[in-house]
């Protein structure tokens, strides 16, 4: 009797083992109740970056256009494809270029992975810049989000520096001359310029030492710094009360509405949402654990219920942006090959020697004056960008695209954007041999 019971217990244990294991990994099943939906964000490591509930305004596709998310997903694509490419790459001046050719001939998916890495890098520069424009034009850098804007500016600079260090690695003509010019620009910086150039190159000219240094920066130093800053960037979104939104997004429509009554079903934001989004911080509202559960007794103060559960609303929006980003990179990579120029010829710079499009504005500036175009003006621009939230302290017009109250600030920023785009267009299409002005028509 006792014996059989023991056996029975053991059998039961065995029978239940798969579920025991499953349940020890996943603490709750796919939720069907609001309590469950709350718990998803709490109990899953990968989801706990999300708030339990997210403001409906945050999910409006045309407010963020998902640009922050796109940047993040491109960063992830770059990390994955980058690590894969590292399996075949050797940072040596005699081998690097051959390894690029090997990707074509003898590595499965070699060209495709390199394409993905290159196009995702271009895309990330664009996405991060557009994300910055979005944050500016919606006035989202204002108190209390000033410091997150500053981190964002640093992330933009790191993105540029990552792509800069990345394109020396194929050791082709573009690589060599772009780095020659780029580090020469660094040499123009006052006082520390020459030292900085020497530290960067590890030599007086671009060569093996420079290749190794750029490799280390590209695959270790910069990604680690970026990863940390991205983490802080996301964390602060939560701590700063989620994404910015206009004041009227929280306004009580009629004073009589004291209970949440009927919350309209979450409008599925099927295009985009933001990086990670907000716990709603309302002055009169205090969340306890019971606040997670929707019901008449949890409301404190007369506030409308303008939030929806992150699971599934935010999560699906994020998934949508993710699929779109990956699909975009894959399609572009399937149709267009990443350029690979001639192997390095120290004697003959290509004529004209052009950097990738996002540095052509800088190259155009530099063609007028090396110091002002390459160091002076960019330094001033970055300084102004960093200090923008501390100059522009008005509280009006937050969370709205091109708010009337922010006409001056938006106009100034628009001029900055347009001037840089014009410089890029001139550098791309209107400059020919010896950097002479040519007409593309």
Partner 1 sequence: MSEKDNAHEVESSEPITRRKVLAWLTSMGILGSAIVSVFSNFVFIKPRATYGLPTRFSIGTPNDYPPGTRIALGKERVAIIREGEKMAAISITCTHLGCIVGVADTGFACPCHGSRFDQDGNVTGGPAPRPLPWYELSLAPNGELEVDKGKEITPGKWFTV
What does the binding site for partner 1 look like in residue numbers (CB under 8 A)?
Answer: 177, 180-181, 183-185, 187, 198-199, 202-205, 207-209, 213, 346-353, 363, 366-371, 373-374, 433-436
Structure tokens, 208: 């093996």
Min. distance of Cβ 262 from partner 1 in angstroms?
Answer: 49
Min. distance of Cβ 435 from partner 1 in angstroms?
Answer: 3
How many of the other CB atoms lie within 10 Å of CB of 269?
A: 26
Using the minimum distance from each CB to partner 1, give the nearer residue, 330 or 425.
425
Min. distance of Cβ 417 from partner 1 in angstroms?
Answer: 24
Using the minimum distance from each CB to partner 1, give the nearer residue, 208 or 337.
208
* 252 vs 234: CA distance, rounded Å: 29
Min. distance of Cβ 325 from partner 1 in angstroms?
Answer: 35
Using the minimum distance from each CB to partner 1, give the nearer residue, 195 or 411.
195
Min. distance of Cβ 152 from partner 1 in angstroms?
Answer: 25
* 175 vs 164: CA distance, rounded Å: 9
Using the minimum distance from each CB to partner 1, give the nearer residue, 31 or 350.
350
Using the minimum distance from each CB to partner 1, give the nearer residue, 143 or 348.
348
Residue 324 CB burial class (10 angstroms; 0-12, 13-18, ≥19)? middle
Answer for the pair 96, 211: CB distance below 8 angstroms, yes or no: yes
Bridge partners of residue 431, in order along the sequence: 437
Using the minimum distance from each CB to partner 1, give the nearer residue, 192 or 419.
192
Using the minimum distance from each CB to partner 1, give the nearer residue, 349 or 394.
349
Min. distance of Cβ 163 from partner 1 in angstroms?
Answer: 19
Min. distance of Cβ 147 from partner 1 in angstroms?
Answer: 22
């Amino acid at each position: 009797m006792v014996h059989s019971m023991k056996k029975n217990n053991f059998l039961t244990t065995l029978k239940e083992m798969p579920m025991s294991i499953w349940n020890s990994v996943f603490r709750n099943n796919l939720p069907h109740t609001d309590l469950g939906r709350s718990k998803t964000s709490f109990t899953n490591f990968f989801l706990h970056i999300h708030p339990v509930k997210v403001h409906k305004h945050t999910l409006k596709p045309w407010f963020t256009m998902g640009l922050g998310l796109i940047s993040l997903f491109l960063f992830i694509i770059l990390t994955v494809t980058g690590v894969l490419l590292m399996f075949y790459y050797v940072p040596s001046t005699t081998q690097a270029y051959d390894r690029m050719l090997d990707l074509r001939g003898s590595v499965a998916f070699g060209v495709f992975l390199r394409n993905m890495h290159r196009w995702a890098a271009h895309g990330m520069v664009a996405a991060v810049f557009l994300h910055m424009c979005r944050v500016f034009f919606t006035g989202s850098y204002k108190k209390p989000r000033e410091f997150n804007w500053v981190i964002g500016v640093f992330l933009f600079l790191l993105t540029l520096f990552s792509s800069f260090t990345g394109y020396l690695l194929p050791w082709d003509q573009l690589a060599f001359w772009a780095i020659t010019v780029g580090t020469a620009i660094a040499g123009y910086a006052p006082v520390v310029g020459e030292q900085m150039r020497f530290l960067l190159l590890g030599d007086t000219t671009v060569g093996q030492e420079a290749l190794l240094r750029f490799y280390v920066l590209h695959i270790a130093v910069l990604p680690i710094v970026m990863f940390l800053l991205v983490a802080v960037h996301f964390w602060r979104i939560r701590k700063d009360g989620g994404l910015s939104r206009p004041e009227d997004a929280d306004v009580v429509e009629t004073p009589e509405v004291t209970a949440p009554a009927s919350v309209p079903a979450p409008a599925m934001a099927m295009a985009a949402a933001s990086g990670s989004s907000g716990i709603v911080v309302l002055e009169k509202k205090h969340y306890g654990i019971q606040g997670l559960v929707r019901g008449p007794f949890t409301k404190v103060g007369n506030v409308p219920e303008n939030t929806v559960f992150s699971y599934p609303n935010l999560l699906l929006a994020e998934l949508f942006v993710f699929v779109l980003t990956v699909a975009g990179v894959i399609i572009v990579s399937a149709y267009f090959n990443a350029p690979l120029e001639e192997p390095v010829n120290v004697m003959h710079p290509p004529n004209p020697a052009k950097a990738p499009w996002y540095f052509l504005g800088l190259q155009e500036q530099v063609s007028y004056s090396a110091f002002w175009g390459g160091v002076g003006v960019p330094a001033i621009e970055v300084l102004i960008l960093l200090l923008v939230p501390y100059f522009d302290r008005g509280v009006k017009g937050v969370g709205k695209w091109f708010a009337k109250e922010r006409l001056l600030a938006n106009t100034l920023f628009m001029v900055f954007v347009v001037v840089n785009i014009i410089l890029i267009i001139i550098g791309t299409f209107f400059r020919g041999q010896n950097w002479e002005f040519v007409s593309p028509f």
